[in-house]
Amino acid sequence: MATQTGAPDLLQKRTVFLVLSVVTTAIVAASLIAGSLTGSTAVLFLLVFLAIMNIPYRLHIRRLQEISIQREAAVEKINLLRSELKKREQILLNVPRQIERLNFFKSMVERLIKVTDLDDVYRIVGGQIRASFDHSDTVLIYLLERGFLKLVYSHKDERVTPHIKNKMGDILDYWVIKQNKELLIEDIRHDFRFDPNRVESLAERNIGSIVVSPMLMGKTTVGVLRVESTRTRDFGFDDLRILSVIADITALCIDRLHLVNKVQELAIKDSLTGLYMRNYFMERMQLEVRRALVDDLTLSVLMVDIDYFKSINDEHGHIVGDMVLKDLAQLMMETVVGEGRLVGRFGGEEFIAVLPGIDCRGAYDIAERLRQQVECRPVPYRRKKISYTVSIGVACFPQNGKVEQDLIRASDDALYQAKNEGRNRVCMLSCS
């Protein structure tokens, strides 16, 4: 209101000032004519009068300037408040979208927590990406193993995307791995970083735009998520952020499953040889024997023992002894192969194998082949070759027993028979 009344007040004061000035001047002029004032006195009187009358006028001008400054500050503050209000309104408008995204990621995490198989992880993640990027034509998931990418999941629109021949990624994926950051290409034909005509995987497929994100565990890359579209400018930075979050969730889930599998493996497998430990082996053997009994199948058991193992430890040390144990475990895994066949460490230097579907003759042949391989393949150690032999006992279902305890006892008896007959041999109880 001060700025609105300031101009009339100033005009009014100017008018009063002029009137008073005219009146004063007239009085001074009359006094000069009458001879009551001298010229110098009159001039001095007029100067003093003008100075006194100018003081309120200048004070009013200064007040108007202060009001103008205050007004400009108030306008600036109002503009700042309006800008802040606009930002807050925009945030409020984005709240439903943010809630939708949070629910999306929450749903994804809840599903992945229940998963115990990596293939299911890839399937769920691929489905979530397709749901989030409904304009995409191709979704690819690569896992990084020993420095190379391996395609573990793919989904493509067959109408617009040809068959994916490259299963090990291309220059774009390895660029993401090397740089350890996301990649957004709005138009593959006009990107200065990559020449699609020189990249076979890009030239042979109709790709317009692409977004790629690494799956990171700390600073370690475990894989790559890649989304493609045949159209240009189908993806933006918002899509890049979403894919990055999905990639982080996927990496955490993969790492969790790796840890779970490792713990489970440590619980059922011998840390030295990698073979099943006795308790778990007995559970699996019990199931195989029951299956053989119900389905009227054959089944054989091999009990394997290293000859003079104590002498090997005493002569060469426990390091060599461990090498011999690992060597025998590897040979057994290579020799006793087939569906449902089990190999375990029974205790100390004793190993056991269950051969479903193998009769006595077949089991004896497998045992003899194993014995010969052990005899012919010494263990190298410090320019030496440490030779060792094994004795093997064979028992068969149902001839030597119809429960696992009887079969183990029979194979153990056959093993002791081999020991008593001079070791480095295969013995089998009567299968009649």
Report how far residue 295's alpha carbon sits from residue 114's, in angstroms, rounded to the nearest whole number: 35
How many domains does the chain fold into?
3
CATH number of the CATH domain containing 329: 3.30.70.270
The number of residues making up the chain comes to 432
Q: Report if residue 101 sits inside a domain.
A: no
Q: In terms of domains, do 286 and 214 share one? A: no
Q: In terms of domains, do 304 and 327 share one? A: yes
| Nearest Cα residue to 364 out of 308, 429, 286, 420 | 429
Q: Identity (one letter) of the amino acid at 127?
A: G
CATH number of the CATH domain containing 128: 3.30.450.40
Q: Is the peptide bond before 356 cis (omega within 30 degrees of 0)?
A: no
Collapsed DSSP state (helix, strand, coil) of residue 73: helix
What pLDDT is stored for residue 11 in this prediction? 59
Q: In terms of domains, do 296 and 408 share one? A: yes
Residue that is last in its domain, among 244, 266, 288: 266
Q: Report if residue 396 sits inside a domain.
A: yes
Q: In terms of domains, do 78 and 124 share one? A: no
Is 0.75 topped by the overall pTM?
no
Q: In terms of domains, do 135 and 190 share one? A: yes
What pLDDT is stored for residue 156 in this prediction? 83
Backbone angles phi, psi at 42, to 5 degrees: -65, -45
Q: In terms of domains, do 246 and 303 share one? A: no
Q: Report if residue 107 sits inside a domain.
A: no
Instruction: Kindly report the number of other CB atoms within 10 A of residue 159's CB atom.
Output: 7
Task: Give average pLDDT by consecutive 10-residue segment, the chain, 432 residues.
Answer: 52 64 67 63 65 66 82 88 82 66 78 87 91 86 91 82 74 91 89 74 79 90 92 88 92 90 84 91 92 92 95 92 95 83 91 93 94 93 91 94 93 95 91 64
Q: In terms of domains, do 289 and 411 share one? A: yes
Q: In terms of domains, do 167 and 248 share one? A: yes
What pLDDT is stored for residue 263 in this prediction? 83
Q: Report if residue 103 sits inside a domain.
A: no
Q: Report if residue 106 sits inside a domain.
A: no
Q: In terms of domains, do 253 and 308 share one? A: no
Instruction: Kindly report the number of other CB atoms within 10 A of residue 417's CB atom.
Output: 15
Q: In terms of domains, do 251 and 213 share one? A: yes
Residue that is last in its domain, among 86, 104, 137: 86
Q: In terms of domains, do 126 and 206 share one? A: yes
Report how far residue 34's alpha carbon sits from residue 19's, in angstroms, rounded to the nearest whole number: 22
What pLDDT is stored for residue 2 in this prediction? 44
Domain that holds residue 44: 2-86
Q: Report if residue 418 sits inside a domain.
A: yes
DSSP assignment string, 255-291: HHHHHHHHHHHHHHB-TTT-SBPHHHHHHHHHHHHHH
Q: Report if residue 92 sits inside a domain.
A: no
Q: In terms of domains, do 376 and 256 share one? A: no
DSSP H or E segment with residue 142: strand 138-145
Looking up tokens 């149902």, which residue turns up? 398
Residue 410 tokens, joined: 């029979």
Q: Report if residue 321 sits inside a domain.
A: yes
What pLDDT is stored for residue 107 in this prediction? 83
Q: Identity (one letter) of the amino acid at 410?
A: A
